[in-house]
Amino acid sequence: MVAKTFGSVLHGINGEVVEVESVRFNSRPEIQITGLAGNVVRESRDRIRACLRGLGIDTPSARLVVHLVPATQKKEGSQLDLAIAVAILAVEGLLPVNKIGKMGFLGELRLSGEVVGIPRAIAMMESLTARKELERVFVPVGNRWDAAVLGSPKLELVDSLQSVLEVLTQNEKRETAVSTLPPPETSAAPSDPLLDYVRGQATAKRALQVALAGRHHLILTGTPGVGKSLLSQSAQTLLPPLNDQERIEVSKIHGNRAALDERPFRAPHHSVSASALLGGGTGEVRIGEVTLAHHGILFLDEFPEYRRDAIEGLREPLQEGAVRISRVGANLKMPAQFLLLAAMNPCPCGYLLSRQQPCRCPPDRVWAYRRRVSGPILDRIEIAVGLPGVELREGPSHALVKASIERVWKIQKSRSPEGPALEGRTRHWFNDLCNKEFLSFRSRDKLLRTARTLADLGERREIDRQDLVEAWALRCDAKLLSSVT
């Protein structure tokens, strides 16, 4: 007789269901785990024996083989403990085999029999609840919050192996079914109005407003001390909160509730390696900064100082909103829909654009410095503005910018995804401009997208000439930068 139940392991950021089979042979008592089990999984034998002894169950009574399917994929993690324990109890005749075949189990066992919470549980819970044949999925009480975010009626909370035994032998529905839990609370505390701390800088504030409203990547070039970092940091507090689906995706990546009240803001130092920025590495898959910034902001200060391979590696996520990680035996595609905010000095000394201080860099050094950010990368950044120094003109307030971004996101969500069309005369004028400036199709498309955001900010149904002129101005520095490269 073979007993079968279900557990899950992490594969990248997603959970993958593992079938846990067990079979009994009449020979010397021992437990054997097969199916590419990692060290932690193999050690579960001893944890489970200790737990069961505590419950007065002496196992194994014969040779038991626990097999993990699919056998070709390596499995790591202590979260399989509970499923393996249940499969062993079933094949020993202590749990009904027909019942556990329709159930999933997640949780690490303490020697006392307590079921403890596991990191990044939400992805594994999701994989189990998505399986049609599974009717009930038991998860640790310690992962109550993750379970409530997912909100599946199949999920039930357990605190010990003993309580699992009771539920399965007495056939009762737990009161701790997740559907009875209140939805998780997110903090409603107002965030600091960081944008108001930046004095003046109307142009930069406007650029930031447009970038966040239309989800356009932005690069700020300016002399040191003009507020590039503070402007970028304020971006996180200006964005609307995560919606339910985004919250699930973000918590699959971060695996803790701390990150969930606000959108992620990642600011890796310029010494970061390409694999730390993009993900990968040897051994266990490392989640890259681009994925940690999913649905949030990736802030790269001193942009040209990053390693060349790290900067170039951004092409794919900037274009596709995802990053592919190739490894021996597996190709992973990780989500990376972030908004890039990059800041840089105009030259190595930083004063090339300054009206107050002269730049002493020789032209070839300026050229070499800027060339570190290649044309293809600049081509994927819609908005580029230069800040020549402190601009005294005040920009819009934090509250106003935040409200406008929220409004535009709503408009964009309700609109069909077709590209923005131009009304007759505006179209002629725009085509003339594109021909005169030899704009590529990609550049035209970017200009139109930015202009669409500007029209939305101004609450206009049609894009007008003014929007195109402003979009052109917001892109001009990108043109200037790429002409240097």
Instruction: Give residues in contact with Zn ion (CB under 5 A).
Output: 347, 349, 352, 359, 361
Helix (H, G, I), strand (E, B) or coil at 334: strand
Choice between 352 and 448, CB closer to Zn ion: 352
Q: How far apart are CA 438 and CA 54, in angstroms?
A: 78
Q: How far apart are CA 206 and CA 446, in angstroms?
A: 17
Burial 271-304 (b: 16+ CB within 10 A, else e): ebebbbbbbbbeeebbbbbbbbbbbbbbbbbebb
Choice between 325 and 361, CB closer to Zn ion: 361
Q: How far is the CB of 362 from Zn ion (least distance, A)?
A: 9
Q: How far is the CB of 317 from Zn ion (least distance, A)?
A: 31
Q: How far is the CB of 350 from Zn ion (least distance, A)?
A: 6
Taking a C-beta distance cutoff of 8 angstroms, is the pair 282, 295 a contact?
A: no
Choice between 467 and 477, CB closer to Zn ion: 477
Choice between 347 and 381, CB closer to Zn ion: 347
Signed CA dihedral, 435, 439, 445, 448: sign only: negative
Q: How far apart are CA 222 and CA 346, in angstroms?
A: 6
Q: How far is the CB of 351 from Zn ion (least distance, A)?
A: 5
Q: How far is the CB of 361 from Zn ion (least distance, A)?
A: 3
Signed CA dihedral, 370, 372, 373, 376: sign only: positive
Choice between 255 and 346, CB closer to Zn ion: 346
CA-based nearest residue to 267, from 290, 251, 285: 290
Site of tokens 């993009």: 278
Q: How far is the CB of 480 from Zn ion (least distance, A)?
A: 16
Taking a C-beta distance cutoff of 8 angstroms, is the pair 113, 55 a contact?
A: yes
Choice between 44 and 345, CB closer to Zn ion: 345
Choice between 20 and 352, CB closer to Zn ion: 352
289 Cβ partners below 8 Å, 6+ apart? 266, 268, 272, 276, 277, 278, 298
Q: How far is the CB of 349 from Zn ion (least distance, A)?
A: 3
